[in-house]
């Protein structure tokens, strides 16, 4: 579609103007504040034992939650878009729910289930399993808050590309798995890629829900966002910004990785 | 697909490194020596409220150098007092708890996690105290010297919300002891425009330019100053005494009691004093008298009936007097 | 239609709409199980907790004036934000996909940052930018607008990223055909492109709405939490938890969830109704 140059420019200005006000300026402020004390300070800030541990813990949580939710997301999107399921709309709405749940409530819910006096509490205590106030609880919280992303990104794309090619493949004798791997998956790659990017960004940046179930045990259950809050509380604003910048870096790296993988997929 | 194998490998690496790092706590200080507790025989879990983290970071190594503390590893957790208390209630393992106010310890008594007589000690179960103070802008441009000045026309007051932060109850008790409910009503209705979620956020809001005076604690103001924040504070001639409890949980190892004893000893109390907390050790307090002036009138929680009376009376979310004031205040500002 | 049948008779024509994904019914089963364990079970625990004191206590908790005011404000501001995201998200996605302006890659990379930045940092930054010491002279702190600002920041990626992948996969032939037949750019957009984007736009709007109603950390600092004014439901729920009223907190949370579910369902119905002509 060839829009008039002036129309295109107007759109660009509106988009960038909005982005500047809502997004770019705040992000720029974060960057400026991060590097204000100087590069050396920033490096020292992100290489303390606490920061290093928080970094790896954050990555660990994302590395578990995101692939699981990606698999769930693709399967569910396929079921929702291609399948005949009664009550599809209700299922779809339910899938969106995790976001609507305030982080405090997520934490509350997990403690209600797996806490000392929770539904499974006594059983867990009997078997010496610690879920809340330990990493498993944090994994559950992270999975909870990132659940809908991949479904929501893949479903519209699936709908858009249609199932003509898949039907053709089926009539040519391809098995369901072959159809999926060679026709469907490549078609939804951008949806999956952005779903993964968003899930990862959310997983690493999640604060509220993880905060309630983590127990904030220094060196054990403190993620980068929790470290940011701790540093803020201890008047180490520079350190808080530095840790945030690290998180932003991870998000950017994920986007880069997805873009590169997508390009390679294109070339293959 | 390469990406599919990369992630599990990454996860395994992360798990591995986190297991390694979790051995002896992780310091957040770039200059600190390696965290203690390589081959600890006992590990103590300290669950405390957030502000004295700086103090415990100094006390713990001190304790580990004593005979009682040798070979004792530490797991520490710091957060908002109420949240921490609820976490212990919910299953967070704790040997020593140190909260901002007694009700947060009493909650655990109700759950059977702390002995009912935890406060029956020479220091009444306390490890440090402080007083309610008024934080003002540098140079005190509005001339705030006491509680009455807060009600001067046009003065805007910032105070954290006592319903989102248990620790914030102290602040309003300071106001309450001065002029009772009528004073608190005028204060909250006409002069308090924002009530941030916590003490720290209230200070952030204040330093971001909002309000003329912030109701806070003396120790928070002193710690903030020590950390480079540009604030001044005033201790009114009549104010409220803040009591910070410490207790050992029921099935804690004996090292826990030893740690609490250490925290009450002179070297540890001196660390508290250095960070702006009034020590419960009388001699250390006397030695730091210049830092901790005696207000003419110091009201304590016992003077107003104890927490058992005051907490439900003032701070019950439904029927408390202050909750009602907040409801009524909302009517006038609601559209 | 089971997978076994599909494998045994590969050439057989299947009825339209049969589940053809690998593991068909198995896929549905796994997805439902995952959803149940991760999401529904915890939410069930909340619902049960909300009824701890009986229906009377539930009603008392959710009918209080503060609760109602918080709920109303939360829903309204979230709907506004969702709408803004639907419009601006589409616009931004369009510009990012179709307009190769200098710096596009950087702008594209930055879109996801609101998710990655911890809410406390978002809070402090927004307060610094749009509060009393604003360098750009915009002081909306402690007003209802401030909540909208914070929510727009936090939900921006939803609006953009929902539409972007669909735009990238869009078949441009129809647009070219329309252009060669003389249709203006606006008409082409309105009649050819937009209908294909509607499911994605509504998807992004639904996600924005859902996130906005639950948002806590980035809103709490800049809003000032004024009851009946700028207090959002998540802060009200937090208050109840901090006041040892977990039952009341759960009750209000359940009501918010029910309302969110209704809005999300409504959006899905509109989406289906709108794309009905597709099939």
In Å, how far is A117's CA from the nearest CA of chain C?
12
Q: Given this model, what pLDDT does residue B134 score? A: 97
What the block records as the tokens of C1 is 């239609």
What the block records as the tokens of B145 is 């010297």
pLDDT band (50, 70, 90) for residue C17: very low
Q: Is C145 on the interface with B (CB under 8 A)?
A: no
Q: Given this model, what pLDDT does residue B31 score? A: 53
- Beta carbons of B26 and A49 less than 8 Å apart: yes
- Beta carbons of B18 and A56 less than 8 Å apart: yes
Residue A117 has pLDDT above 80, yes or no: yes
Q: What is the mean pLDDT of residues A144-150?
A: 92
Using the structure block, give the residue that is written with the tokens 């180490």: A236
CA distances from C93 to B275, C90, C163 (A): 52, 5, 6
What is the separation of C-alpha A97 from the centre of its chain, rounded to a whole number of angstroms?
A: 15
Give contacts of C141 with chain B, Cβ < 8 Å.
Answer: 208, 210
In Å, how far is A44's CA from the nearest CA of chain B?
6
Which of B4, B15, B28 to mutate to probe the A interface, most A CBs <10 Å?
Answer: B28
CA angle B44, B46, B51 (to 5 degrees): 155
- The answer to whether C216 and C222 have CB atoms below 8 angstroms apart is no
Closest Cβ opposite residue A220 in set B3, B75, B78: B75
Work out the end-to-end distance of chain A between its first and last CA atoms, rounded to an integer number of angstroms.
28
Which of A16, A29, A83, A105 to mutate to probe the C interface, most C CBs <10 Å?
Answer: A105
In Å, how far is C143's CA from the nearest CA of chain A?
17
Distance in angstroms (rounded) separating the CA atoms of residues B162 and B172: 8
pLDDT band (50, 70, 90) for residue C270: confident
- The answer to whether B76 and B35 have CB atoms below 8 angstroms apart is no
Q: Is A235 on the interface with B (CB under 8 A)?
A: yes
- The answer to whether C217 and C119 have CB atoms below 8 angstroms apart is yes
Distance in angstroms (rounded) separating the CA atoms of residues B197 and B161: 6
| Total beta-carbon pairs less than 8 A apart between chain A and chain C | 341
Q: Which residue of C has its CA nearest to A157?
A: C166
- The answer to whether C131 and C60 have CB atoms below 8 angstroms apart is no
- Beta carbons of A233 and B50 less than 8 Å apart: yes
Distance in angstroms (rounded) separating the CA atoms of residues B199 and B160: 6
- The answer to whether A199 and A69 have CB atoms below 8 angstroms apart is yes
What the block records as the tokens of A236 is 């180490």
Residue C267 neighbours by CB under 8 Å, 6+ apart: C202, C205, C206, C209
Give contacts of B54 with chain A, Cβ < 8 Å.
Answer: 234
What is the separation of C-alpha B41 from the centre of its chain, rounded to a whole number of angstroms?
A: 30
Chains contacting C (3+ CB pairs below 8 angstroms): A, B
Q: Given this model, what pLDDT does residue B49 score? A: 96
- Beta carbons of C250 and A105 less than 8 Å apart: yes
Distance in angstroms (rounded) separating the CA atoms of residues C61 and C73: 17
Distance in angstroms (rounded) separating the CA atoms of residues A240 and A37: 12
Closest Cβ opposite residue A97 in set C24, C39, C108: C39
- The answer to whether C73 and C224 have CB atoms below 8 angstroms apart is no
pLDDT, tens digit, for every residue of B30-48?
A: 654 444 444 568 999 999 9
- Beta carbons of C217 and A103 less than 8 Å apart: yes
Give contacts of A135 with chain B, Cβ < 8 Å.
Answer: 18
Closest Cβ opposite residue C132 in set B209, B327, B329: B209
Neighbours of A40 (CB within 10 A): 8
Distance in angstroms (rounded) separating the CA atoms of residues C169 and C188: 17
- Beta carbons of B204 and C221 less than 8 Å apart: yes
- The answer to whether B40 and B73 have CB atoms below 8 angstroms apart is yes
In Å, how far is A61's CA from the nearest CA of chain B?
8
In Å, how far is A195's CA from the nearest CA of chain B?
15
- Beta carbons of A52 and B200 less than 8 Å apart: no
Give contacts of B326 with chain C, Cβ < 8 Å.
Answer: 227
Give contacts of A202 with chain C, Cβ < 8 Å.
Answer: 115-116
Closest Cβ opposite residue B195 in set C127, C225, C242: C225
| Total beta-carbon pairs less than 8 A apart between chain A and chain B | 125
pLDDT, tens digit, for every residue of B226-273?
A: 988 888 999 999 999 999 999 999 989 899 999 999 999 999 999 999
Question: Can you tell me whether residue B118 is helix, strand or coil?
Answer: coil
Residues of B with CB under 8 A from a CB of C: 82-83, 86, 107, 161, 163-166, 193-197, 201, 204-205, 208-210, 315-318, 326-327, 329-331, 333-334
Written as tens digits, the pLDDT of chain B (335 aa) is 344 444 444 444 444 444 444 444 577 876 544 444 445 689 999 999 999 999 999 999 999 999 999 999 999 999 999 999 999 999 999 999 999 999 999 999 999 999 999 999 999 999 999 999 999 999 999 999 999 999 999 999 999 999 999 899 999 999 999 999 999 999 999 999 899 999 999 999 999 889 999 999 999 999 999 988 888 999 999 999 999 999 999 989 899 999 999 999 999 999 999 999 999 999 999 999 999 999 999 999 999 999 999 999 999 988 999 999 988 887 543 33
Chains contacting A (3+ CB pairs below 8 angstroms): B, C
Distance in angstroms (rounded) separating the CA atoms of residues B46 and B43: 10
CA distances from A42 to A251, B178, C16, C124, C125 (A): 18, 46, 59, 19, 18
Average pLDDT, chain C: 85
Question: Can you tell me whether residue B246 is helix, strand or coil?
Answer: strand
Q: Given this model, what pLDDT does residue C274 score? A: 66
Q: Is C84 on the interface with B (CB under 8 A)?
A: no
Q: Given this model, what pLDDT does residue A88 score? A: 75
In Å, how far is C141's CA from the nearest CA of chain A?
15
- Beta carbons of A63 and B50 less than 8 Å apart: no
- Beta carbons of A94 and C23 less than 8 Å apart: no
Q: Is C135 on the interface with B (CB under 8 A)?
A: no
Q: What is the DSSP letter of B244?
A: E
Q: Which residue of A has its CA nearest to B74?
A: A218
Which of C57, C67, C221, C245 to mutate to probe the B interface, most B CBs <10 Å?
Answer: C221
What is the separation of C-alpha C140 from the centre of its chain, rounded to a whole number of angstroms?
A: 24
Helices assigned H by DSSP within chain C: 3-8, 24-35, 41-50, 54-63, 65-98, 104-110, 113-116, 119-130, 144-169, 173-180, 185-188, 194-214, 217-223, 233-242, 246-274
- The answer to whether C91 and A14 have CB atoms below 8 angstroms apart is yes
Give the start-end residues of each E strand in chain B. 42-49, 72-79, 96-98, 126-136, 157-158, 192-194, 213-217, 232-234, 238-248, 278-279, 297-299
Give contacts of B318 with chain C, Cβ < 8 Å.
Answer: 245
Residue A262 has pLDDT above 80, yes or no: no
Q: Is A115 on the interface with B (CB under 8 A)?
A: yes
Name which of C198, C207, C211, C160 is nearest A18 in CA terms: C160
Q: Given this model, what pLDDT does residue C72 score? A: 94
Give contacts of A251 with chain C, Cβ < 8 Å.
Answer: 112-113, 115-116
- Beta carbons of B29 and A48 less than 8 Å apart: yes
Distance in angstroms (rounded) separating the CA atoms of residues A76 and A154: 9
Q: Given this model, what pLDDT does residue C182 score? A: 86
Closest Cβ opposite residue B28 in set A51, A57, A115: A51
Name which of B243, B192, B218, B201 is nearest B135 in CA terms: B218
Chains contacting B (3+ CB pairs below 8 angstroms): A, C
- The answer to whether B83 and C243 have CB atoms below 8 angstroms apart is no
Q: Which residue of A has its CA nearest to B28?
A: A50
Distance in angstroms (rounded) separating the CA atoms of residues A19 and C84: 12
- The answer to whether C175 and C193 have CB atoms below 8 angstroms apart is yes
- Beta carbons of A256 and C17 less than 8 Å apart: no
Q: Is A44 on the interface with B (CB under 8 A)?
A: yes
Give contacts of A59 with chain C, Cβ < 8 Å.
Answer: none
pLDDT, tens digit, for every residue of C78-89?
A: 999 999 999 999
Distance in angstroms (rounded) separating the CA atoms of residues C75 and A67: 32
Name which of A27, A34, A25, A28 is nearest A241 in CA terms: A34
Q: Given this model, what pLDDT does residue C26 score? A: 78
Work out the end-to-end distance of chain B between its first and last CA atoms, rounded to an integer number of angstroms.
58
Distance in angstroms (rounded) separating the CA atoms of residues B33 and B29: 9
The string of DSSP codes covering chain A is ----HHHHHHHHHHHHHHHIIIIIHHHHHHHHHHHTT-HHHHHHHHTSHHHHHHHHHHHHHHHHHHHHHHHHHHHHHHHHHHS--TTHHHHHHHHHHHHHS-HHHHHHHHHHHHSTTSSSHHHHHHTT---TTSHHHHHHHHHHHHTHHHHHHHHHHHHHH-SHHHHHHHHTT--HHHHIIIIIHHHTHHHHHHHHHHHHHHHHH--HHHHHHHTTBTTTS--HHHHHHHHHHTT-HHHHHHHHHHHHHHHHHHHHHHHHHHHHHHH-
Strands B126-136 and B278-279: antiparallel
Q: Given this model, what pLDDT does residue C183 score? A: 84
- The answer to whether A11 and C95 have CB atoms below 8 angstroms apart is yes
Question: Can you tell me whether residue B5 is helix, strand or coil?
Answer: helix
Closest Cβ opposite residue C185 in set A3, A18, A108: A3
Residue C12 has pLDDT above 50, yes or no: no
- Beta carbons of C142 and B194 less than 8 Å apart: yes
């Amino acid at each position: 579609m060839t829009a008039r140059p002036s129309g295109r420019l107007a759109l660009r200005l509106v988009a960038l103007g909005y982005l500047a006000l809502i997004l770019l300026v705040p992000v720029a402020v974060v960057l400026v504040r991060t590097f204000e004390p100087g590069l050396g300070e920033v490096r020292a800030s992100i290489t303390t034992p606490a920061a290093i541990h928080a970094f790896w813990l954050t990555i660990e949580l994302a590395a578990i939650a995101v692939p699981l939710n990606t698999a769930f997301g693709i399967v569910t999107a396929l079921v929702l878009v291609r399948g005949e399921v009664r009550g599809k709309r209700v299922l779809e709405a339910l899938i969106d729910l995790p976001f609507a749940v305030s982080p405090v409530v997520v934490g509350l819910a997990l403690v209600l289930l797996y806490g000392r006096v929770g539904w499974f509490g006594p059983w867990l205590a009997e078997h010496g399993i610690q879920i809340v106030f330990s990493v498993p609880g944090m994994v559950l919280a992270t999975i909870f808050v990132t659940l809908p992303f991949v479904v929501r990104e893949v479903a519209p794309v699936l709908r858009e590309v249609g199932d003509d090619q898949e039907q053709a493949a089926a009539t040519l004798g391809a098995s369901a798995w072959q159809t999926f791997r060679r026709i469907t998956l490549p078609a939804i790659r951008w949806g999956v890629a952005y779903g993964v990017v968003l899930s990862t960004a959310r997983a690493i940046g999640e604060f509220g829900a993880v905060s309630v179930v983590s127990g904030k045990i220094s060196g054990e259950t403190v993620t980068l966002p929790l470290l940011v809050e701790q540093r803020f509380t201890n008047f180490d604003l520079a350190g808080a910004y530095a840790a945030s910048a690290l998180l932003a870096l991870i998000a950017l790296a994920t986007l880069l990785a997805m873009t590169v993988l997508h390009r390679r997929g294109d070339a293959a | 697909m390469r990406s599919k194998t990369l992630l599990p490998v990454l996860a395994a690496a992360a798990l591995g490194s986190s297991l390694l790092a979790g051995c002896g706590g992780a310091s957040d200080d770039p200059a600190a020596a390696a965290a203690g507790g390589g081959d600890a025989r006992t590990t103590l879990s300290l669950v405390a409220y957030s502000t004295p983290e700086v103090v415990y970071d100094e006390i713990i190594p001190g304790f580990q150098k004593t005979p009682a503390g040798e070979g004792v590893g530490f797991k520490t957790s710091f957060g908002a007092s109420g949240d921490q208390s609820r976490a212990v209630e919910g299953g967070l393992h704790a040997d020593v708890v140190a909260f901002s106010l007694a009700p947060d310890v009493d909650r655990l008594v109700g759950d059977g996690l702390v002995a009912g007589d935890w406060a029956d000690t020479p220091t009444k179960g306390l490890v440090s105290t402080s007083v309610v103070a008024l934080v003002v802008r540098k140079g005190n441009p509005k001339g705030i010297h006491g509680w009455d000045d807060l009600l001067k026309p046009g003065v805007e007051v910032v105070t954290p919300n006592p319903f989102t932060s248990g620790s914030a109850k102290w602040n309003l008790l300071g106001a309450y002891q001065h002029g009772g409910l009528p004073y608190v009503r005028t204060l909250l209705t006409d002069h308090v425009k924002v009530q941030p979620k916590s003490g720290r956020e209230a200070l952030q809001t204040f330093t971001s330019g909002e309000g003329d005076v912030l109701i806070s604690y003396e120790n928070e103001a002193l710690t903030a100053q020590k950390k480079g924040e540009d604030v001044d504070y005033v201790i009114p001639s009549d104010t409220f005494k803040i009591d910070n409890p410490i207790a050992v949980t029921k099935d804690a190892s004996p090292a826990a009691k030893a740690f609490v004893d250490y925290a009450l000893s002179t070297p540890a109390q001196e660390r508290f004093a250095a960070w702006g907390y009034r020590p419960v050790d009388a001699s250390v307090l006397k030695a730091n008298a210049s830092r901790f002036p005696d207000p003419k009138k110091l009201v304590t929680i016992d003077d107003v009936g104890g927490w058992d009376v005051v907490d439900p009376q003032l701070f019950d979310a439904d029927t408390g007097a202050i909750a009602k004031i907040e409801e009524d205040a909302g009517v006038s500002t609601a559209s | 239609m089971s997978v076994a049948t599909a494998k045994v008779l590969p050439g057989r024509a299947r009825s339209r709409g049969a589940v053809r994904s690998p593991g068909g019914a198995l896929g549905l089963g796994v997805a439902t199980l995952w959803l149940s364990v991760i999401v529904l079970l915890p939410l069930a625990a909340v619902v049960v907790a909300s009824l701890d004191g009986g229906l009377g206590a539930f009603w008392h908790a959710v009918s209080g004036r503060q609760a109602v005011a918080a709920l109303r404000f939360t829903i309204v501001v979230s709907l506004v934000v969702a709408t803004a995201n639907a419009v601006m998200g589409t616009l931004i996605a369009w510009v990012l996909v179709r307009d190769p302006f200098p710096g596009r890659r950087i702008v594209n990379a930055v879109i996801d940052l609101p998710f990655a930045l911890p809410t406390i940092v978002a809070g402090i930054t927004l307060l610094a930018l749009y509060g009393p010491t604003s360098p750009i002279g915009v002081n909306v702190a402690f007003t209802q607008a401030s909540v909208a600002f914070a929510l727009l920041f936090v939900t921006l990626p939803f609006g953009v990223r929902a539409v972007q992948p669909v735009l990238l996969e869009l078949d441009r032939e129809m647009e070219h055909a329309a252009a060669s037949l003389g249709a203006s750019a606006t008409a082409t957009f309105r009649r050819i492109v937009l209908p294909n984007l509607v499911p994605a736009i509504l998807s992004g709007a639904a996600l924005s709405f859902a996130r906005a109603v639950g948002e806590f950390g980035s809103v709490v600092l800049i809003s000032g939490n004024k009851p009946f004014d700028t207090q959002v439901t998540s802060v009200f729920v937090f208050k109840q938890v901090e006041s040892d009223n977990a039952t009341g907190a759960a009750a209000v949370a359940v009501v918010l969830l029910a309302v969110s579910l209704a809005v999300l369902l409504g959006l899905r119905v509109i989406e289906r109704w709108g794309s009905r002509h597709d099939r």
